[in-house]
Structure 1
Amino acid sequence: MSEDIDSYIRSSYSFKEINTYTKELSLETKERISVEVIKRALKLCRHKAAIAFSGGKDSEVVADLIERYFPEEFKRVHCIFGNTGIEFPESLKFARKYGREHFADRFHETELSRLEEDELRYDFARELVEELEDEGALDEILKPDGKLKGQKALIAAAKKRCYRLDHSNCFFAGHRKTFAYCIEQYGAPLLGKAASRLDAHRINIECFLKYSNSLSEKDDLKEYYGILQQCKFSQHCCKLLKKEPSERLQAELDVDVIFKGLMAAESHSRLTSIATRGHIFASHRPHIEDGAFYHVNPLAFWTDDDVWAYIHKYDLEYSPLYDIEYTDADGNKQHITRNGCIMCGTDIQYRDNHLSILRQTHPRAWRVCMESFGYREELYKLFRLKRNVNIFDSFTDEGTSSRMISKFGSTKALLDTRPCAFDEFGELVDLTGTGLENEYDAEIAIQNDGQFKWI
């Protein structure tokens, strides 16, 4: 590689530099930078290298770059497909096909964990807490500061009252931590991570909000607590279904270099990560005792257009998910641009959010979200908490959406009649910057093995 390519690969950049490189560098130059980044990362590898593969276009390009430019080293690179159990069917099928064709026995799928201890199911736990409150016996389950002692205390209280624990009221040790489990015990992923800082079982959060004496008195937090008290949402599924299973498999394979398809142009958080860490950054993992664990982002300066140009340049097969069309809020035809988890609702604060698109492209999955996993009621609660007819009418196409909600009353009637009223409700909810970092003792989830297949 020439010296000019070397100058682009550093441990940190200014936002201006990244924006300039992203916009002005040619695909050829970006490709050469990526190849040099991969070369350096492979030299750092002392154990095993792997690709974090999603079945999406970005991670596929990373895999192709390694296979194309480093064919011998590629034969030793593993592929880790993060199967959350709620993948788009198109992505799941393509990931398995690509993985087996290009990696053979080096293609691995993550597996979901199983519970290590018994847990009371949410509805029963909630009823039990109410019963203890009526008895004046909350000290059996609450700490002095009003926070819940944990599941063991709840189970002990239930047994003390001679309740028979079975599958109707308890998740027993060994139960798979599926998406359905996450929804029931924690809540649906209906707002971004900034709004889900209280990362704990829903019953823990409710006890905290009702009984704790350490609630903040800040006005913005009071407003947030008001929403959280009535609406059940959480980002814990991302940790249980994606992050921890992948890291566990990396440890089992003895991986010390992980290649990812992250691009600075995708989001502010990724821009910040690249700016402060560069293409390659070191971290620590318990299974690597003789040095660092390296995260590698060869596509840091790429854009979606670059990725598609590369795919067309080398005539690569890609997931058919990207060929599926939908109609955006302005009436224009668009293609799906991101795969991710099929039931994710973290972007509901934006127009043309994931769930509004899903209703068009995968109506069966959308119905499962709304009817089987309880999204409908939680969305309705969120809308009603922030509803302002004048504001809502000002940015909806027909200016009648909020009045229709009042008219139909029932969320089921509303959804059956005009479900797009929900597509933009999230624009009324802005919970970013709530400062919850120190407000609650986040629970630590321990991962084992397991498997879940979405219907």
Structure 2
Amino acid sequence: MKPLTLSDLHTRQAWPLNQKIDHTVGAIEAFVNYCKEHGRAPYASFSGGLNSTVLLDLARRYVDPNMPGVFCSTGNEYPEIVRFVRHTKNVTIIRPTMTPREVMARYGFPLVSKEQAHAMRDIQTSKSEKLRNYRLYGDGIRTCGILARRWRYLITEPYMTSEKCYELLKKRPFAKYNRSTQSLPMVGTMAGESKRREMTYINRGGCNIFSDDPTKTHSAPLSIWTNTDCWDYIHRFDVPYCSIYDVPGIDRTGCVFCGFGAHLGGGRFRVLYSLHPKLYQMAMNYTSNGYTLRYALRRMGVQLPDEQPELF
């Protein structure tokens, strides 16, 4: 089969909604059939966000009306998200073994991006001098995973920086659930959300990748969709969605404390402060080595909403 290219992805992203629905339903059906053949139970990973709402509706509308959803409650979702999830039928709620406060106290703050935080964690904690040198200087050939010069100040900061929150608060709970229930998830990620996801889609050869080892199987049926497609689908079929999306400034949800991308404007924290000031203060007071997330965000140059001067 001819390998996929970036041009192929862009062509598919330009398809009309009806064609994307057909394509996605086919991907879901193929995933469900794979699960049946391997004695696994399929489900939709349900965050309560826009993408996963569309994915769960597609699966129930066209493939299996009883398709279950699974939501991981980390304790740092918008309250609106939690309420929406609780009012969605047939959704199992799982939880991590650590709280966000404990994760950041032990491993550090999620700052800049997942890739840069990972590089920073290796520099701060790795016992391998070779790995540390690569994260700092590269090897003369590759550039992936090198700490950018802009963020080198983090090396001497008194707090830790890490991407471990995702693994401990989301990835591990789902892995435990999958093992204990012999289940496999579909996820609502879209290739257009980042360059990394574009390349993942291309390298995997499409929405699904199947393996003789079910743990290596991956299904992302919405890969070729866009945010506009999701809204068009929701409006066309009058699909209920979380009320948080009706708040100006909200186009994506997620962990309310997350510092990934905060240097690009910090809009997440402005919205959180406006809607849920107590939750905002709780997040700002998370600590690493005795230093608060508030302190770390200030050092990044983020203008926090409760520290902005009043305009007269």
Flag whether TM exceeds 0.5 (same fold).
Answer: yes
Alignment-derived partner of residue 309 in structure 2: 418
Give, in angstroms, the shift of residue 233 of structure 1.
2.1
Offset of residue 60 of structure 1: 1.4
Distance 2:53 2:131 in 1: 47
Q: Tell me the residue number matched to 1:86.
A: 76
Letter in 2 for 1:275: I
Corresponding residue of 2:47: 54
Asked if 1:16 corresponds to 2:1, the answer is: no
Partner residue, 1:64: 57
Residue of structure 2 in register with 1:240 after alignment: 168
For 2:269 and 2:73, locate their aligned partners in 1 and report how far apart those are by CA, in whole Å.
20
SS in 2 for 1:45: helix
Write the distance in 1 (CA, Å) between the matches of 2:124 and 2:310: 30
Distance 2:228 2:254 in 1: 19
Q: Determine the structure 1 residue equivalent to 2:298.
A: 380
1:110 partner amino acid = I
Q: Distance in 2 between matches of 1:17 and 1:304?
A: 19
Q: Matched residues in 2 for 1:52 and 1:91: separation?
A: 14
1:251 and 2:242 matched = no
Alignment partners' CA distance in 2, 1:361 and 1:269 = 32
CA distance in 2, matches of 1:237, 1:19: 32
RMSD: 3.2
* Closer/same/farther in 2, CA of residues 362 and 213 from structure 1, 3 Å limit: same
Q: Distance in 2 between matches of 1:419 and 1:345?
A: 24
Aligned partners of 1:351 and 1:276: how far apart in 2? 32
Change (3 A) 1:222 1:317: closer
Aligned to 1:112: 96
Find the aligned partners of 1:21 and 1:236 in 2 and give their Cα distance.
33
How far did 1:52 drift? 0.7
Cα distance in 1, alignment partners of residues 43 and 131 from structure 2 = 44
Q: Deviation of residue 48 (structure 1)? A: 1.0
Q: 1:197 aligns with which of 106, 118, 127?
A: 118
Shift of 1:92: 0.9
- Within the alignment, does 1:305 sit opposite 2:228 as a pair? yes
Distance change (3 Å), C-alpha of 1:15 and 1:362: farther
Structure-1 separation of matches of 2:166 and 2:177: 16
When normalised by structure 1's length, the TM-score is 0.57
Match of 2:156 in 1: 229
- The Cα shift of 1:200 comes to 5.9
TM-score normalized by the length of structure 2: 0.81
How has the CA–CA distance of structure 1 residues 304 and 192 changed in structure 2, closer, same or farther, with 3 Å as cutoff?
same
1:13 and 1:276 in contact (8 A); partners too: yes
In 2, distance between residues paired with 1:222 and 1:38? 39
Cα distance between partner residues in 1 of 2:216 and 2:125: 38
- Residue 41 of structure 1 deviates from its aligned partner by 1.5
> What's the offset of the Cα at 1:382?
3.7
Q: Alpha-carbon deviations, 1:24-56, whole Å to 9, x = none?
A: x11111111111111212211132111111011
The one-letter code matched in structure 2 to 1:381 is: R
1:324 Cα deviation from its structure 2 partner: 1.2
Larger radius of gyration: 1
Partner of 1:182: 103
- Cα 1:236–1:372 change in 2 (3 A) is closer
TM-aligned CA distance change 1:251 to 1:227, over 3 Å: same
Map of 2:219 onto structure 1: 296
Amino acid at match of 1:180: R
The equivalent of 1:448 in structure 2 is: none
The one-letter code matched in structure 2 to 1:43 is N
Kindly provide the amino acid, as one letter, of the partner of residue 76 in structure 2.
Answer: I
Structure 1 residue 222: Cα displacement: 10
Q: Any unmatched runs of 5+ in structure 2?
A: 139-145
Please tell me whether the aligned partners of residues 207 and 223 of structure 2 are also in contact (alpha carbons under 8 angstroms). yes
SS of alignment partner, residue 307 of structure 1: helix
Q: Report the counterpart of residue 96 of structure 1 in structure 2.
A: 86
Post-superposition Cα deviations, 1:406-440, rounded to whole Å, max 9, x if no partner, equal xxxxx9xx9545399xxxxxxxxxxxxxxxxxxxx
| SS of the residue 1:49 aligns to | strand
Deviation at 1:353, TM superposition (A): 4.1
Query: Match for residue 141 of structure 2?
Result: none
Equivalent runs, 1:141-180 vs 2, <5 Å: 177-180=98-101
Letter in structure 2 aligned against 1:48:
A
8 Å CA contact 1:192–1:347 kept in 2: the answer is yes
Q: Tell me how far apart the structure 2 counterparts of residues 199 and 215 of structure 1 sit (CA, whole Å).
A: 9
Aligned to 2:252: 338
* Paired residues of 2:71 and 2:92 also in contact (CA < 8 A): yes
Work out whether residues 232 and 378 of structure 1, in 8 Å CA contact, stay in contact via their aligned partners in 2.
Answer: no
CA distance 1:377–1:253, shift in 2 (3 Å): same
Question: Percent of counterpart pairs with the same letter?
Answer: 25
Q: Judge conservation of contact 1:280–1:295 (CA < 8 Å) in 2.
A: yes
Report the secondary structure of 1:298's partner residue.
coil
Alpha-carbon distance between aligned partners in 2 of 1:214 and 1:265, rounded to the nearest angstrom? 30
SS for the counterpart of 1:108 is strand
Q: Report the Cα distance in structure 2 between the residues aligned to 1:241 and 1:358, rounded to whole angstroms.
A: 20
Q: Which residue identity does 1:22 align to in structure 2? A: Q
SS in 2 for 1:81: strand
The CA deviation at 1:214 is 8.1
Partner of 1:323: 246
1:307 and 1:239 mapped to 2: Cα distance? 27
